[in-house]
Amino acid sequence: QVQLVESGGGLVQPGSSLRLSCAASGVTLDGYAIGWFRQAPGKKREEIACISGSEGTIYWGDSMQGRFTISRDVAKNTVYLQMNNLEPEDTAVYYCAGDRSPFRLWILVTPDCWGQGTQVTVSS
């Protein structure tokens, strides 16, 4: 059974950086795509970035590239989301999700596994 566990969220000031981690178990990342999503209260879920399993190809959500970086450590079975120069508008619950099919994960957004989410709050 696949499990995804996010960590690294917290309360930070504007302009700060955070690195979120998504640790996978029950699957190996070289055959499994992982994506990061976020949802703020009262807003639609946003797609941040996705990294495919076999080749590590990266796909970006609209307007997400620039301050955010997605990476993975296959040996540690973990995907990271580095977030720099955070703004109050980045406040949200951040989720990772995964599927063997990047299409199901990123285009259909019907992955077979979601993490529990980690709260990121950007406030002075």
Residue 113 pLDDT: 96
Q: What average pLDDT does range 64-86 have in this prediction?
A: 96
Mean pLDDT for 79-98 is 97
Task: Using DSSP bridges, classify how beta strands 92-99 and 113-114 pair: parallel, antiparallel or unpaired.
Answer: antiparallel
Quote the pLDDT of residue 67: 94
Query: What pLDDT, on a 0 to 100 scale, did the predictor assign at position 92?
Result: 98
pLDDT at 87 over 90: yes
pLDDT digits (tens, 9 = 90+) for 35-67: 999 999 999 999 999 999 989 999 999 888 899
Question: What are the two backbone dihedrals, phi and then psi, of residue 92, each rounded to the nearest 5 degrees?
Answer: -175, 170
Nearest to 64 by CA among 91, 97, 37: 37
pLDDT of residue 16 exceeding 90 = yes
